Amino acid sequence: MIKLHDKYFKPFISEGEIMAAIKKIADQVAVDYKKETPIFVGVLNGAFMFVSDFLKAYPYPCEVSFVRLSSYQGLTSTGIVESLLDVPENIEGRSVIILEDIIDTGRTVKKLIDLFSNTKVKEFKIATLFYKSEVYNGEYDIDYFGLKIEDKFIVGYGLDYNELGRNLRAVYQLNQKHMINLVLFGKPGAGKGTQASFLKEKYNLKHISTGDVFRYNIKNGTELGTLAKSYIDKGELVPDEVTIKMLQDEVEKNPEASGFIFDGFPRTTAQAKALDDFLVSKEMRIDATIALEANDEVLIQRLLERGKVSGRSDDQDEKMIRNRFDEYNEKTAPLKDYYDDQGKFHSVNGIGSIEDITSRLAKVIEELQAV
Ligand code: AMP
């Protein structure tokens, strides 16, 4: 898996397959044109690699030239094809074979035909390395193609995503399943919030901490805040109905998110089930639950330290902390089995430097993305 700008791409067509496809086209063209010296016209920018390897595979005398067109911007074609470098001179009476990296809807083909329509060439042919035959709706029948491919956004071997990826030797396709939803699991003080703040940047995820949402409500004196406070102050869990509803609202508020990190939720089996049902209704799912493991004595020290800095009252009293651990052991710990049964439970050592723990988590996440 590779990342270009904000998107992930997975291997699609290997270097070997590309070379075989090029040889196939070169052999076919060679049969048709060995008796003359054709002019191959590469379409820049994308076709530069194809032109280079094609010429190396073409066994007879030939000439080469280029036109430059541009139509793609980002992932979707703008539909407007501009000519930035015009037709080569002295092509009258010659056989011209266009070398295109990819043909999809056919807009570029149309532009090429327009460009060459007044040039009095002897013959005009189009060869494309990749051909999205299902979406091609042009009238012109493509003369030579290397590989037919489905309508997927691809990069590599000259093709780019916002200018990146042209130098890749193989072709990669956009990884559509790039949404990752993670549950960060662990006792209070395990470092869920700290790690979430790094992971959300690294993987472009929305971080939802139910504890933070409660504290925000308490600070703003909302009804929800007053209710939550009565539980939080005792180190108890806020009732499921309230928490589940609140979590759903937070997800709904972020329809554009490319994935979520759930921190401090779910904390009970009922919450985990509600989360699964809710995500299914949105065609989403939890990809992994990652537990940050640390022993109680380390955690108590961390929480007491945090309490001094953050002023969180539930972090300042060892009795309250121990009560939160009891709540965890009784209500939250069983979720390990719940996620284990779904094959989604991963455990990470939560003791060490923040960076080391982030890399342990990143390793798990990157393995998920590679699937
Ligand atoms: P946290 O910041 O995650 O440690 O949460 C602080 C407190 O908020 C907890 O001790 C609970 O009282 C409450 N809380 C946070 N998340 C949940 C949840 N998923 N279910 C019930 N109570 C929660």
65-79, 109-123, 153-167, range with the lowest pLDDT: 65-79
Reply yes or no on whether the pLDDT at 155 is more than 60. yes
Angle at 77 between CA 73 and CA 81, to 5 degrees: 90
Atom of ligand 1 nearest to the CA of 324: 10
- Comparing 71-80, 160-169, 281-290, 339-348, which segment has the lowest mean pLDDT? 71-80
**What are 200-240's pLDDT values in tens digits?**
998 889 999 999 999 999 999 999 999 999 999 999 999 99
Identify the H or E element spanning 310: helix 296-310
265 CB under 6 A from ligand 1?
yes
Q: Is 131 in the pocket of ligand 1 (CB under 6 A)?
A: no
Catalytic residue among 192, 215, 331, 360: 192
pLDDT of 194 > 60? The answer is yes
Assess whether the previous peptide bond of 61 is cis (omega < 30° from 0): no
Catalytic residue among 34, 306, 336, 344: 306
Q: Tell me the pLDDT tens digit for each residue of 95-140.
A: 999 999 999 989 889 989 988 998 999 999 999 999 999 999 999 9
Note whether 199 and 358 are within 8 A (CB). yes
Distance from C-alpha of 286 to C-alpha of 181, rounded to nearest angstrom: 5
Edge-to-edge strand ranges of the sheet holding 123-131: 76-85, 63-73, 39-44, 95-103, 123-131, 144-148
Instruction: Measure 85 CA to ligand 1 centroid, in angstroms.
Output: 62
Atom number, ligand 1, closest to the C-alpha of residue 239: 21
Pocket test for ligand 1, best of 185, 187, 210 (most atoms within 8 A of CB): 210
Going by their DSSP bridges, the two strands 63-73 and 123-131 should be labelled as unpaired
Of 173-177, 253-257, 314-318, 332-336, highest mean pLDDT: 332-336
pLDDT value of position 60: 98
Q: What is the pLDDT of residues 245-262, one digit of tens each?
A: 999 999 999 887 889 999
Q: How open is the CA angle 211-213-218, to the nearest 5 degrees?
A: 95
Confidence band of 145 (pLDDT split at 50, 70, 90): very high
Q: What is the mean pLDDT of residues 69-93?
A: 70
pLDDT of residue 308: 92
pLDDT of residue 71 exceeding 90, the answer is: no
Please give the average per-residue pLDDT across 31-40, as a whole number.
97
Best probe residue, ligand 1, of 194, 195, 226, 237 (max atoms within 8 Å of C-beta): 237
Rounded average pLDDT over 338-355 = 96
The answer for 222, left when phi > 0, alpha when psi is -120 to 50, beta otherwise, is: beta
Mean pLDDT of 308-323: 91
Residue 74 clears pLDDT 60, i.e. is over it: no
- More confidently predicted of 84 and 133: 133
Side-chain-facing half-sphere of 262: CA atoms under 13 Å: 26
* 267 CA: nearest ligand 1 atom: 19
What is the model's pLDDT at position 8?
Answer: 83
Residue 370's pLDDT is what?
65
How far, in Å, is the centroid of ligand 1 from the Cα of 332?
Answer: 11
192 is catalytic: yes
Average pLDDT over residues 280-302: 93
pLDDT of 82 over the 80 cut: no
Say what the pLDDT of residue 70 is. 72
E strand or H helix that includes residue 91: none
Catalytic residue list contains 215: no
The model carries a pTM of 0.60
* Distance of CA 263 from the midpoint of ligand 1 (Å): 9
Ligand 1 centroid distance, CA of 267 (Å): 8
Q: Residue 161's pLDDT is what?
A: 93
**Selected catalytic residue, list 125, 324, 331, 360:** 324
267 noted as active-site residue: yes
Catalytic annotation on 302?
A: no
Query: Tokens at residue 200, please?
Result: 């959300």
| Torsion angle defined by CA atoms of residues 11, 17, 19 and 25, in that order, rounded to the nearest 10 degrees | -120
CA 232 – ligand 1 centroid, Å = 7
pLDDT at 315: 93
Distance CA 33, CA 14 (A): 29
**What mean pLDDT, rounded, does the chain reach?**
92
Say whether the peptide bond before residue 45 is cis (omega within 30 degrees of 0).
yes
Whether residue 166 lies in the annotated active site? no
